[in-house]
Amino acid sequence: MDTSAFRQAHAHILRIMPLIQHAAEGRLRYPYLTVTYGQHYGGHIYCWDNHHMTLRFAAAGEPEQMCYFVDNMLSFQTASGYVPCVINIADGGSGAISNFHAQPFLAQNAAIYTMLTGDAAWAETVFPKLKKYLSYWLEKHAAPFGLCRWRYPYMSGFDNEIAATVFPPDTIISPDLNAWLYLELRSMAYLAGMQHDVSAQQDYHCRAETLKKAINTYLWDDEFGTYAAYDLCAGQCRVSWGDGTLSGEVGQYAYLSCPALIPLFARLAEPERAQRMIKNYVLNPDHFRSPYGIRSMSKSSEYYNQARWGNPPRYGDHRRLTNSNWQGPVWIPLNWFVFHALLYYGFVVEAEQLADDTFKVIAMSVKQCGFMRENFHAETGEPLYADNFASWNILADLMPDYLPGGKPKLSLFAFEK
């Protein structure tokens, strides 16, 4: 391990963690964390950012940040089960874009917290609300084949992910959403078991296994050997341009993008498939692996770019005319997800190298700017956008804990315990 880069990254993360902690204020009833400690994004909770931030605080001995997060989010739940994905001190979630449902991390967060603390009483209080929240996902975002879909690409957090950016809304079934929902269902089964609700536990477990089968049936492209988005209009997975108008290798990997990586993190792939995908794409420098981590899109895609701001989706909401760019740059959460997938599927040396590259790119950013940014140029390591960034980047210094000989402070897969 590159101990110098790790020490620099670790020291910076420890320095900024107190700066993103805030007492309850305004419409937020519980203490909360902000994604930056600068002038932007203050007073807001963003679902998937905050989920990952609370994991870092839990590892530092503050698991209460996890229940604060879940309680803050669920305090704005409506009778339908809907939970705003973004909430804030000024108006709660009422000013958010309508139908932007909280990304599927709340059950995972609650399960990990409960496993860490043994707080079954708290889990019992939030379980009915989590049931309604997850039912909203499974019913309102339902797609064919027993799968689910994002309504707009930004709702995934991968703001301008290429397949959902190019094709019309509701026509793309993305592997990331369904992988997250699988983890949510497994987490709900765990929480039901904590309450000795055998019927609910079995129901959620069966639904998770059914979803797993659908993911591996419809969202795996065996020709290319990768998970991919399913195009309902074409009736097939979308890796290549694939309409017969282009010859040779042009457009062959046009839509090979970061959502394909999430089923590996969720441990959905059988070993043979995982080995194939990891060797051919994840670790391949022509695709996802850059010297600075994991690209958000295959380098072999014609859409691959390193713009500081991503182009908005052609069918996107008019209120979102700029997006964070997920069409090429390296993002720390992708490094985190792939790191854990590599370890699970037996690529230990490669996981350690990815951790080293993560520390190096963070150390470069801190040295150059004095802070982390949210993403990095995949070919040069240059910090690209968002000053004084914290968010999920603060997970990076936990990576060594999961390597052989380390002592992880929390399990990301509570349901396996």
Walk me through the domains of the chain, giving residue ranges and CATH numbers: 3-416 (1.50.10.10)
Residue 194 has pLDDT above 70, yes or no: yes
pLDDT digits (tens, 9 = 90+) for 271-284: 999 999 999 999 99
Check if the beta carbon of residue 373 is closer than 8 Å to that of residue 389. Answer: yes
Residue 169's pLDDT is: 78
pLDDT (mean) for 254-275: 98
Q: Where are the alpha helices (DSSP H) in 159-232?
A: 162-166, 175-194, 198-218
| Predicted local distance difference test score (pLDDT) of residue 97 | 65
**84 - beta bridge partners?**
101
Going by pLDDT thresholds of 50, 70 and 90, the confidence category of residue 152 is: confident
* Two tokens, residue 15: 């320095």
What average pLDDT is seen over the chain? 95
Helical H segments across 345-387, by residue range: 348-369
What confidence score (pLDDT) does residue 309 get?
85
Calpha distance 91→373 (Å, rounded): 28
300 in Cβ contact with 286 (< 8 Å) = yes
pLDDT at residue 180, as a whole number: 99
22 forms beta bridges with 32
pLDDT of residue 244 exceeding 70: no
d(CA 3, CA 269): 33
| Higher per-residue confidence, 330 vs 99 | 330
Prediction pTM value: 0.97
pLDDT band at 315 (very low <50, low <70, confident <90, very high): confident
Angle at 25 between CA 22 and CA 29, to 5 degrees: 100
Between 349 and 42, name the one with better pLDDT.
Answer: 349
Residue 246 has pLDDT above 70, yes or no: no
